[in-house]
Structure 1
């Protein structure tokens, strides 16, 4: 599928994986609508081809409004990349007591329910576009994590939410096949995003050393490159791709 003269939605699009993906899609000729929270958008630099839209992915009304903005841009909405997510750490039991239920619920709400919310409302809009070759209409790419498979100590909420995204992938692809919409998921390993900005160089080096090959942190641009490849490769559907340098996470 060609990206030129189409619209694309990227959640979490003001920074990190989402920011890199928004830039890559715009470079391919797409009109990109980067959905993010106001605080993140305030820090984002203006970029050609990218329109920032203040959106909480867990709010159906806000997402519906953002989807309407993207689908009303004068070109067909064909691409959605869900990158919005949070990753706080807490154990089920610790010296401070039990895992806070509200925190667990929040992580699932943003990472899993937010992904489902955007997927559902955007799919409705994509399904109304004119079909391309093979009756294709578009593609939705979600973001899981290798924590879905190798969740570490303190990642119970995060791993559960990302495991949900993995579980969502195939049935979503099957549900949307009749509408000509593909669904794919990327499961990144340790990527050098703003989430790691506060980590010391010593810890970063240790993280990189744990990657079999290449022994370094992943780059947001590499995630973005894979997202573009998925959009352009029409026979990729219903699959989860690990982007991790063959890393399998240890318990801690």
Structure 2
């Protein structure tokens, strides 16, 4: 899939994985529409237009996709938006907050599906290239989908849903020339980790077999680009975790 002079949508683009991916896509010549709930603090990037939108709102998503299609031929979607609060199924304060559980599923899984489906509708309406290709969607799961830890029941459920979505979505969208893959990152050095101590981060890094450090957002972006440009990758979930397998806690 060629990126030069095409349009890409990236969710969660104001920071972390999404921001690194938006920058990488723009550097390859794509016109990027970066979606986030709050874009006021998003760093200015050449080739990136930010749109404030809630991925759980179909109206917001349709508005953002319309902005993208106005800029050219939409070919790429990378879903990075997500939240990760933790709580036990049954803790000292009682049962897991059901509203919180619902919210995590809504953002991480339903939001991913909504962006993918609405964007796929727009991509399917474009002319294919000489190989019948029209586009590619890269979704974001987590190794928590496979190795969910104590307190991650909601998060692991949502990311497990993204993994389970990958193959049927790829099969559904194959007739339109749209590929679907998923990245399942391990522990990435994102703003979410900026609030914890260096000692705590070092402890997390020590658990990674090799390389014994936290992943970088730019490495996620590099993998996303590899998937986009590798036309035979489809229906696959790829772990990016340095061979880490999470312990129960």
Shorter-chain TM range is over 0.9
Which deviates more from structure 2 when the two are superposed, residues 77-86 or residues 125-134? 125-134
Equivalent position to 1:190, from 187, 190, 194: 187
Q: Deviations over 1:140-193 (max 9, x none)?
A: 000000000000000000000000000000000000000000000000000000
Does residue 249 of structure 1 match 2:211?
no
Shift of 1:72: 1.3
Aligned to 1:201: 198
Q: CA deviation at 1:133?
A: 2.6
Structure 1 residue 99 corresponds to structure 2 residue 96 = yes
**3-state DSSP class of the match of 1:4?**
coil
**Is 1:231 equivalent to 2:228 in the alignment?**
yes
1:47 aligns with 2:23: no
Say whether 1:130 aligns with 2:122: no
Q: Which residue is equivalent to 2:14?
A: 14
What's the TM-score once normalised by structure 2's chain length? 0.99
In the other structure, the counterpart of 2:118 is 121
Q: Does the alignment pair 1:220 with 2:228? A: no
CA distance in 1, matches of 2:43, 2:171: 38
In the alignment, structure 2 segments of 5+ residues that lack a partner are none
Task: Give the 3-state SS of the residue equivalent to 1:42 in structure 2.
Answer: coil
1:56 counterpart = 2:54: yes
Structure 2: how far apart are the matches of 1:29 and 1:120?
A: 24
Listed as ranges, the matches of 1:136-175 within 5 Å are 136-175=133-172
Question: 1:72 aligns to what SS in structure 2?
Answer: helix
Select between 196-205 and 173-182 the one with higher mean Cα deviation: 196-205
Aligned-residue CA RMSD (Å) = 0.5
Q: Per-residue deviation at 1:42?
A: 1.1
Structure 1 residue 90 corresponds to structure 2 residue 87? yes
Deviations 1:80-129 (A, max 9, x none): 00000000010011111110000000000000000000000000000011
Q: What whole-Å deviation, never above 9, does each CA across 1:11-38 have from its counterpart, x for those lacking one?
A: 0011000000000000000000000012
Match of 1:30 in 2: 30
Match of 2:64 among 66, 74, 79: 66
- The question of 1:110 aligning with 2:110 is answered no
> How far did residue 47 of structure 1 move?
1.1
Unaligned runs of 5+ in 1: none
